[in-house]
Amino acid sequence: MTAFGAMELDAALPRLRAGDPAAQEALYRAFEPQVYNLARRICRTTEDAEDVLQETFIEVFRSIGRFRGDGSIWAWVRTIASSKALMKLRRNKYRDTDELFEEAAPMKRDDAALRMDLEAAMERLSPTSRAVVWLHDVEGYTHEEIGSMMEKTASFSKSQLARAHTRLRGWLGEEVAV
Amino acid sequence: MNHLTMEQLVALREPSTEPGSHAARQHLGSCPACRAELDRLHQRVARLRALPTLRPARNRFNAVRGHLVADRRRKRVRWAGLGGLALAASLALFAVVRPAPAPRGAAEAALSNELIETITRSQQLERALVAISPENRVLDSRTATITGRLEDRLQLVDRDLQAAGLMNEQGRLIEQLRLWRERVGLLDALVDVHVTRASYAGL
């Protein structure tokens, strides 16, 4: 992970606020992989993820004046990226077809290749469940934060997470590593 | 006690103590099957965190910059251009509708009517553009370049319109009509670009 350290940020912040293209590019390069990865893990298509990447940085540079600089810049950028990715899900109305999505292409339990492929299993989850798993288990957001970002409750996030892990468990047919 | 549900296992990973977690932990101490299930859950999450970082196939920075530059241009056009434009429009309308010192010919009356129609059309397009809210749309770099050029030309037309308002009466009507027509063409193109080539950023 490319760090955009506190010292670098202190130096870059006034230039970012002034709209300096070189400073913007440095920030973009520093966080492009993380933002895209987060977006791609949540969105269904690479095109959607690229849109989220672009929308995130447009928002970051537009509102950099509101970033106070006392917290982690990555945490701030990540919140914007998560919000954009979830907004993309809502706009595409994936949520309405969650059940259909998971049931449309059932995975064969005895398919060894798929059983071992966590990425394929994640892709098979409904977009909402996948987003909750990624935001909670990988990005470290709390259920309260995820519920708020999704305009739902913390309980909704909890039940989506449990449901997703039940499905992943079934699809992956995991053995405990010794 | 039955085996723990996935909801209970997932809750055991949370830092806070939830109702029922004490009983769940007690069960875990005496149930190898549930301990194994919790291990699987931990391992699954560890594998998720270890997935490779995906990278975009295309560099989007130029598109981001293009959007920001277009943003600035648009603000300049709005603040610098529209104020003067409103003045130009009112001057043009005043020139057209004020009592004529002498009976106007049919050709001049037709020109005046056309000018009013063109200004009205320009105002309609301006409202359509505001309704589209271009600042909330994502443009690829090529489209951002096109809109930037259109906005630059629009700014020049607006400046010329203000100058035309100060011209003497002879020729003013024709020049204003020419400029307002050009303005309508540019606005029409801008609306078209935003409707057909951009997507909402949803900001």
| Residue B33 burial (10 A CB sphere; 0-12, 13-18, 19+) | exposed
Higher pLDDT, B13 or B148: B13
Question: Cα separations (Å) of B118 from A147, B1, B70, B181, B194?
Answer: 51, 81, 26, 6, 21
Q: What is the mean pLDDT of chain A?
A: 84
Is residue A33's pLDDT more than 60?
yes
What count of other Cβ atoms lies within 10 Å of the Cβ of residue B104? 13
What average pLDDT does the segment A108-127 reach?
71
Q: In which residue are the tokens 């241009």 written?
A: B73
Task: Please answer yes or no on whether B65 and A24 come within 8 Å at the CB atom.
Answer: yes
The confidence score (pLDDT) of residue A96 equals 47
Task: Please answer yes or no on whether A34 and B49 come within 8 Å at the CB atom.
Answer: no
Is residue B142's pLDDT more than 60?
yes
Whole-model pTM?
Answer: 0.65
Q: Which residues from A are below 8 Å from B49, CB to CB? A: 137-138
**C-alpha–C-alpha distance, residues B155 and B143, integer Å:** 18
Q: Does B64 touch chain A (CB under 8 A)?
A: yes
- CA-closest candidate to residue A42, choices A3, A1, A78, A96: A78
| Residue B105 burial (10 A CB sphere; 0-12, 13-18, 19+) | exposed
Contact A121, A153 (CB under 8 A): no
Task: Please answer yes or no on whether B201 and A55 come within 8 Å at the CB atom.
Answer: yes
What 3-state DSSP class applies to B53?
coil
Q: How confident is the model at residue B203 (pLDDT cuts 50, 70, 90)?
A: very low
Higher pLDDT, A7 or B196: B196
Is residue A136's pLDDT more than 90?
yes
Task: Provide the residue type at A16 as one letter.
Answer: L
Q: How confident is the model at residue B5 (pLDDT cuts 50, 70, 90)?
A: very high
Q: Does B94 touch chain A (CB under 8 A)?
A: no
Higher pLDDT, B88 or B80: B88
pLDDT in tens, B52-80: 999 999 899 999 998 888 877 766 655 44
> Half-sphere exposure of residue A122, counting CA atoms within 13 Å on the CB side?
22
Burial B67-81 (b: 16+ CB within 10 A, else e): bbbbbebbeebeeeb
Neighbouring residues of B189: CB distance < 8 A, sequence distance ≥ 6 = B150
Nearest-5° angle of CA B2, CA B6, CA B7? 100
Q: What is the mean pLDDT of chain B?
A: 78
Q: Which residues from B are below 8 Å from A50, CB to CB? A: 56-58, 60
Is residue A48's pLDDT more than 70?
yes
Q: Which residues from B are below 8 Å from A37, CB to CB? A: 53-55
Q: Which of B45, B61, B202 sits opposite A28 (nearest CB)?
A: B61
Q: Does B127 touch chain A (CB under 8 A)?
A: no
What average pLDDT does the segment B95-102 reach?
55
Task: Please answer yes or no on whether A51 and B138 come within 8 Å at the CB atom.
Answer: yes
Neighbouring residues of A94: CB distance < 8 A, sequence distance ≥ 6 = A44, A101, A126, A127, A128
Question: Cα separations (Å) of B179 from A23, B49, B115, B119, B163?
Answer: 40, 60, 10, 10, 11
What 3-state DSSP class applies to B103?
coil
pLDDT in tens, A18-28: 888 999 999 99
Helix (H) or strand (E) holding B138: strand B137-138
**C-alpha–C-alpha distance, residues B25 and B8, integer Å:** 10
What average pLDDT does the segment A71-85 reach?
93
Task: Please answer yes or no on whether B56 and A32 come within 8 Å at the CB atom.
Answer: yes
Contact A20, A53 (CB under 8 A): no
The confidence score (pLDDT) of residue A6 equals 66
**C-alpha–C-alpha distance, residues B92 and B123, integer Å:** 13
The confidence score (pLDDT) of residue A114 equals 43
Task: Please answer yes or no on whether B64 and A158 come within 8 Å at the CB atom.
Answer: no
Helix (H) or strand (E) holding B200: strand B199-200
pLDDT in tens, A142-159: 999 999 999 999 999 999
Q: Which of A34, A58, A162 sits opposite B68 (nearest CB)?
A: A58
The confidence score (pLDDT) of residue A99 equals 54
Q: Which residues from B are below 8 Å from A40, CB to CB? A: 54
Task: Please answer yes or no on whether A36 and B58 come within 8 Å at the CB atom.
Answer: no
Higher pLDDT, A166 or B198: A166
Q: Does A48 touch chain B (CB under 8 A)?
A: no
Q: CA nearest B140 in A: which residue?
A: A54
**C-alpha–C-alpha distance, residues A49 and A55, integer Å:** 10
What average pLDDT does the segment B167-171 reach?
68
**C-alpha–C-alpha distance, residues A1 and A34, integer Å:** 8
Q: How confident is the model at residue A95 (pLDDT cuts 50, 70, 90)?
A: very low
Q: Distance, in angstroms, between B124 CA and closest chain A CA?
A: 29
